């Protein structure tokens, strides 16, 4: 029998996290259970599809903990959009909102020595861990049945690494991690559609000061990769560009 909490090692990329999630959702439907889920969200656009997809199966609380976001005004705007979206969406069950502390100092301490890493590299893996660890802690404190993050919806986020970190933290904190690869099943495409439906603010950089500078540089060089997790729809279909960017990131 499969150990759902087994930490993937070298074969992490071969694990089909979507299939694991599908199996769990089937079980929940069959058993008529609706567990609680603390859903870490990076931004409203990325959470839109995940909320639509999972609210039927879980009692969801969106957890907004993103000390990486620069500057403070951008952070505040993303929080507002997240709250607005939760209020506007017609979901199967009510969704709650929990904001973590905005503590950029923790992000900069974490990023020290990794400032020059390109987006998608080692700094990002540490950034995933920082945010997921806080989600695991909040899930433990709040007595949630599961925790997870919206981050895997982005074609530029490493779903294997996110799940590996999530499963490690799951063992450490004693809260099951909901493995996922939300970009599957056209999740990313649907998030773009929902962003349009709800008129969401879609930032053109991942969040931190370093990704902002990278986006700025790309704009100056007329490189169309102007966005990251929330790129323009036409960029979402550019598979070649995505794989090039991913291979730089590993
Ligand atoms: S690029 Fe995004 S994931 Fe990477 S460190 Fe910056 S905010 Fe975090």
Number of CB atoms found within 10 A of residue 152's CB:
28
- b/e per residue 176-210 (b: at least 16 CB within 10 A): bbbbbbbbbeebbebbbebbeeeebbbbbbbbbbb
pLDDT in tens, 125-175: 999 999 999 999 999 999 999 999 999 999 999 999 999 999 999 999 999
> What's the pLDDT at 231?
42
Measured in whole angstroms, how far is the alpha carbon of residue 73 from the centre of its chain?
21
> What's the pLDDT at 223?
64
| Alpha-carbon gap, residue 155 to 206, rounded angstroms | 12
* Domain encompassing residue 126: 20-249
Angle, nearest 10°, between helix axes 44-54 and 72-88? 30
Residue 117 is assigned to a ligand binding site = no
Query: How many Å from the N-terminal Cα to the C-terminal Cα in the chain?
Result: 31
Report if residue 6 sits inside a domain.
no
> What's the pLDDT at 144?
98
In the chain, DSSP finds a helix count (H) and a strand count (E) of: 10, 4
Nearest-CA residue for atom 3 of ligand 1? 124
| Alpha-carbon gap, residue 176 to 5, rounded angstroms | 8
Report if residue 172 sits inside a domain.
yes
Report if residue 188 sits inside a domain.
yes
Q: 3-state DSSP call for residue 51?
A: helix
> What's the pLDDT at 221?
86
The CATH number of the domain where 193 resides is what? 3.40.50.620
Task: Enter the pTM of the model.
Answer: 0.86
Q: Is 156 in the pocket of ligand 1 (CB under 6 A)?
A: no
Report if residue 12 sits inside a domain.
no
| Alpha-carbon gap, residue 159 to 16, rounded angstroms | 10
Report which ligand 1 atom has the smallest distance to the Cα of 120.
4
> What's the pLDDT at 211?
96
- Split into its structural domains, the chain has a count of 1
DSSP label of 118: P
Residue 208 is assigned to a ligand binding site = no
How far away, in angstroms, is 206 Cα from ligand 1 center?
6
How far away, in angstroms, is 156 Cα from ligand 1 center?
10
Contacts of 107 (CB under 8 A, 6+ apart): 67, 68, 127, 130, 208
Q: Which residues of the chain have pLDDT under 70?
A: 1-13, 223-250
Report if residue 2 sits inside a domain.
no
Q: Is 207 in the pocket of ligand 1 (CB under 6 A)?
A: yes
> What's the pLDDT at 197?
98
Report if residue 14 sits inside a domain.
no
Mean pLDDT across the chain, nearest whole number?
87
Number of CB atoms found within 10 A of residue 239's CB:
9
Report if residue 13 sits inside a domain.
no
Residue 42 is assigned to a ligand binding site = yes
| Alpha-carbon gap, residue 95 to 103, rounded angstroms | 25
| Alpha-carbon gap, residue 121 to 95, rounded angstroms | 33
Report if residue 10 sits inside a domain.
no
């Amino acid at each position: 029998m499969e150990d759902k909490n087994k930490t993937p090692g070298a074969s992490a990329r071969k694990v089909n996290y979507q299939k694991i999630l599908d199996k769990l959702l089937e079980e929940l439907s069959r058993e008529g259970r609706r567990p609680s889920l603390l859903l870490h969200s990076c931004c409203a656009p990325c959470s839109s599809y995940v909320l639509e997809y999972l609210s039927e199966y879980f009692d969801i609380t969106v957890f907004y903990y993103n000390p990486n976001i620069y500057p403070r005004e951008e952070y505040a705007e993303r929080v507002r959009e997240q709250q607005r979206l939760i209020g506007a969406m017609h979901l199967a069950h009510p969704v709650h909102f929990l904001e973590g502390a905005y503590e950029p100092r923790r992000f900069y301490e974490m990023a020290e020595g990794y400032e020059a890493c390109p987006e998608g590299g080692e700094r990002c893996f540490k950034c995933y861990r920082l945010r997921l660890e806080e989600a695991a802690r909040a899930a433990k404190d709040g007595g949630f049945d599961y925790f997870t993050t919206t981050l895997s919806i982005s074609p530029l986020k490493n779903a294997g690494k996110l799940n590996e970190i999530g499963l490690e933290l799951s063992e450490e904190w004693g809260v099951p991690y909901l493995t996922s690869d939300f970009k599957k099943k056209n999740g990313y495409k649907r998030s773009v559609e929902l962003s349009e439906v709800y008129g969401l603010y879609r930032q053109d950089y991942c969040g931190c000061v370093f990704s902002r500078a990278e986006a700025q540089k790309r704009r100056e060089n007329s490189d169309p990769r102007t966005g990251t997790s929330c790129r323009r729809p036409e960029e979402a279909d550019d598979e070649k560009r995505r794989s090039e960017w991913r291979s730089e990131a590993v």
